[in-house]
Structure formats: C-alpha cells, structure tokens
Amino acid sequence: MSRKSSNLKKSNLVCLVLVAVFVLCTIGRNAEAGSVVGMAEFEDCVQTDQAITCEPKMSVTVPISYGMWKVMEAVNPLDEATRIEVTKSPPMFNYPLTYFHTVSYYPHEQVLKEPNTTGPCFICIDSPDSNCPTCGLTYIDGNSIDHPQGFCVHDIIDSACSWWRGKELYGEHPNEAPFSTAHCLKMGAVYFDGFEIGEYIKSYEVSVKLMQGGEEHTIQLSPDNPFYNTVHDEAYSMTFPLKAELVGDVDPTEGPLELDNYILYIPSKPEDHPMVMDYQNNMLLVPREEVSKDGGELDKVGISFYKFRTQAGNWRVSQAGDGLHNQLFHKHNSDLMKLVMNPNAETTYLVHGMKDFKDSMDFRQGMPRTLKHNITYINNSLVTLTMDKAYIKTIETESEGEIVNATLEKYTCFSEDGLLKVKIKNIGYLQADYIVTVTNGTMNVLNEIPAQARILDPLDEAELKFNIWTYRGNLETSDEYLITLKSPTGKVYDQVWVRFDTDKYTTKYSWDLQDKNTASEAEAGVSVLGDSTCDKMVDFRDFADFARCWLVGVE
C-alpha cells in the first residue's frame, strides 16, 4: 500500500473498539476541533507455553492537531489521579533533494570590437586550437572546455551590412575601417546547484505528558516512531503503566505541494559570496520546462558554450544577448522588483517569497538536504492510549479571549500579494485552546479557508495568517470577511468584520484601469470600512481580466 493510500481516512469515525466489553463514545459537535473521542474496555491477554494470563485494560483514542491540546484525567482506584496532556507539533512536509546539475547564475554576452586597418584579416581568433583565443580560455576542473571563447564575426563593413550582432552597442562605423567582433559567453562569478525534488515525507511529533503527584514523564510519538510502552522505558518510574500508538490521520493533509516538475536552485559557489551565505533567501524554484539539463537549448536555464556558438550563423539578424534570456539572474531580479514594491508580495521563483514556503527553510550543516514546508491549519491525527482500567475524564478548558486586530494589508489588485493577519489574545485566567475562522460575507470564496488554532497562556497573544482566494465580478463593490474567535466546544468569544472597497475608475479603455488596495484594519468587536483603490497601472487586454480581481493572503 502506498504512503498516500495508507493515510487513515476516518472523517466519520464514531468510536474505536478493540475487543470490546464496554464502549463509551463521545462525539464532538464542532468540526474544526475534531472532538472525536473513543473509549473501550477489554482484556489484554498474553499466552505462553505454560498458560494464558489476562488483565483488564482500557483504551482511549483521541484526535490531536497542532495549535490545540487534549487534556484528560485518569483515576484508578489503586492510584492517585494522573493528568494526561497531548499536543502536536506543526506537520512538516520534507521533500528530498537529488543533485541535478550546476549552472551559472548570470550567463551573458560580451561583445568585443577588433579593428583591422590593413584590410580583411582574421583579427578575432576563435579556433579551439589557439592558445590565446580572443575571449580567453574557460576551464572546469583544470580542463579546457571545447570552443570556450564564443564565436567571431569577421570583416564587418557597415555599407555591406545593414545589421550585425552587436551593432546596437557600437553604432555606425565608416567604410574604410573594417573590423571583426568577438562574441564571448561569460558565465559570471556565482553558480547555483540544481536539485530534483522527490515525493514529500510528512513528519511531526505528538507529545504525551503524564503528571502524577510531583512526577512528570513525556512520551514522544511520530510517524517514524509510532509506538511506546512504559514496560520498555527504564526512565519511567510512575505507577501508571501506559502503551501509546500514533494511529494515523483522521483526514489526508490538504493541498500537499506536488513539486516533481520543478528544479530547486541553491546558490553554491563561491562559498564566501553574499548570495551563497544567505542561500535561504536566494533559492529559486524553476519549472522543468524552463531548464536545459545539458545546456542544449537556448533561452533556458543552463545554457552551454557549445549551444551559444551555434548562433554564429545568424549574426546578420540577431542582437547581443540573444539565446541567453530567462536565466536565473532574470528570474531572480524580476521577483526582487516585486518585493521592492511590496515586501509581502507573492513571488514566482524565489522560494522565501512564496506563500507556501515562507519561513520554512531549514538546511542544517551535515544534514541531508530537503525542502521543508510547515502547515499550521487544523489537521487531526489519532492517538490511542492503552492503560489499566480507570475512570477517564476529558477536560476542555475555556478562557475568555478577544480579537486584538484583524488587518488586510495593502496589496496590488489582480495579484496574489494580499495578506490577512489576525491577532488574538487570552484575556482569561486559564491556559486554553482558541480557534480562528475566516468566512465570506458578500464575496464568493473560491477555496475553503482552513481554520487555525493556538494554545495560549493567560495574557498571551498570537498572530495568525490566512490564505484567502476571492472572486469579484463587479469591481465597484464593498467586500467583507467575518473573523470569528471561538473555543473547541463552539463558544464564540469575539467576531470582527473586515470590510474594504474596490473602486473602478472612469476610463475609456480597460487597460487604463487603476486599482489599489490600502490596508484596512478592524479593532476587536468593531466593524471598520477600509479604503481600496489601485497602486499601479495594470495593462489589461482582455475583458475577462478587466472584470475580475483576486485577493490572496499568505500563510
């Protein structure tokens, strides 16, 4: 069975029964909390050559998600009460990387003019046998590359040639001054290693903390280490024996990124270069169709000297730099321009600016390289605890909370650059779980917005970020989102409307349209109308483009 198909899909789980003698099931009413609890009493038997021995046991199965805790109390007539706290770390997707090739960051063309005052002669030298080619020799690992110097164009006379490669750089020249040009491929100083991206492996940890009297003991479970038994733990000293098992996920994880069609480029040489030292903020994710593994295609990442030289024959119609477009340098700088305009912009190639990868880079020295991505929305895993027969209480803690503010930051209309931030606070006196939901008001939300949860101590605050996809057919509308703060039991603590307008200017042509969204902020419990206009000219050639606007938040 594959990893994907082995996910435990139990959305409609009512209870988990082993060899059941007595079954108690409690069904949560709140879907976001995933409050499904199953308990069963049974006999745990061991058969040996001599006999079979059985002991009464009880099993409890609970769901647990990042941002929430599950609290229980087990009371055995022979022991004092044992408090059990279950928490889960943010699930992380680990994408293994396999080396693909090494490419220049900025391959570019240098054009050199070699004057010839004595008449036609081969002043530019591009022979592979020459020890002094005009463009110089290029070496890799001490070995000279065939045809490293690029190519030559000989005896150019303006009256005979209305155009020649490089003329846009040098302009007109008199007939009596013939010359040659050398067209050199320069690779630049910085190189990137490219990696193929494998199928993701999901990882997280579930912590089970036991507290009895003044003693504490914490158990760690993970998909790689799903079983635990106190019998085999020499450090365990409590009188409360326990077996624990991470059963699986209630539902498959939503939206894992499929990255097998991309190459991840990481700056690698020279080691002391600023881009290499700050590689997390300079990694680029490029679709395979924009990459040439062996350099055999023009205008793709990875251009080779050989392929560059094949352009010698079209010097009468080509321009300097032709064949060297769409390199890492161009992709990187197009994204940097976006970030200059808006630091929260959704980038096309820069990994650190993509909403799915922000703040999730972790390439530690000496560790296998993997691309990592954290998810923070509610995603329940099932944990089964087997213990001596006892009375089990599940405890839900409620503590008053508030929405401190909800902010829709400035973004460019018709883009994926929006960011919705919600700050919440525990204003009560107990540690508690809080769930934040974002639901649509007047707008049509294309994708469901996953709820998020956080555990907060008294007076603690947390800021949550949401991905939001909306569609508007009429740009002259007021739009709104309802932000709700509630407990896992469904109690609503606070609600805030975030409202904003998108105004359409009176223009003759659709491509004259200007839109701009400014930040709209809502204080706790107060509905605030934010202003929205457009902060840059956008060229729309199609009426369908003119008629729609996307607002996207970043997680």
User: Does 401-546 carry CATH code 3.60.20.10?
Assistant: no
Question: What predicted TM-score, i.e. pTM, was given to this entire model?
Answer: 0.69
Backbone angles phi, psi at 488, to 5 degrees: -60, -25
The Cα–Cα gap between 217 and 117 comes to: 89
Cα atoms in the 13 Å half-sphere on the side-chain side of 258: 3
pLDDT at site 2: 35
Instruction: List the single range of 89-93, 117-121, 357-361 with lowest mean pLDDT.
Output: 117-121
Q: Is the pLDDT of residue 477 over 90?
A: no
| H or E element at residue 333 | helix 328-341
The mean pLDDT of 297-315, rounded to a whole number, is 91
Please count the other Cβ atoms lying within 10 Å of the Cβ belonging to residue 385. 23
Mean pLDDT across the stretch 192-208?
92
Of all residues in the chain, what percent carry a pLDDT higher than 70? 70
User: Which DSSP letter does residue 135 get?
Assistant: T
Average confidence (pLDDT) over 28-34: 35
pLDDT digits (tens, 9 = 90+) for 408-462: 766 555 455 567 889 999 999 999 999 999 887 555 444 567 899 999 999 999 9
Query: Using one digit for the tens of pLDDT, what is the confidence trace for 91-117?
Result: 888 888 999 999 999 999 998 887 765
Letter for the amino acid at 237?
A: S
Question: What token pair was written down for 145?
Answer: 């590359």
CB atoms near residue 137 (< 10 Å):
13
Q: Between the ranges 106-115, 194-203, 219-228, 366-375, where is the mean pLDDT highest?
A: 219-228
The domain limits of the chain are 22-90+203-251+376-395, 99-195+259-371, 401-546
Helix (H, G, I), strand (E, B) or coil at 391: strand
Residue 169 token pair: 């750089």
Mind listing the pLDDT tens digit for each residue in 528-543? 433 333 333 233 333 3
In this structure, what DSSP letter does residue 447 have?
S
With residues binned 3-state (H G I as helix, E B as strand, rest as coil), the percentages for the chain, rounded to 5, are 10, 40, 50
Arithmetic mean of pLDDT, 284-309 = 93
Q: 3-class secondary structure for 186-253?
A: ECCCCEEEEEEECCCEEECCEEEEEEECCEEEEEEEECCECEEEHHHCCCCCCCCCEEEEEEEECCCC
Nearest to 468 by CA among 454, 482, 487: 482
Question: Is 190 a residue whose pLDDT tops 90?
Answer: yes
Question: Which architecture, in CATH terms, is 22-90+203-251+376-395?
Answer: Sandwich (2.60)
Q: Cβ distance 554 to 464 under 8 Å?
A: no
Query: How would you classify residue 525: left for phi > 0, otherwise alpha for psi between -120 and 50, otherwise beta?
Result: left
Alpha-carbon span 165 to 277, nearest angstrom? 38
- Separation between Cα atoms, residue 370 and residue 373, nearest integer Å: 10
Q: pLDDT value at position 484? A: 92
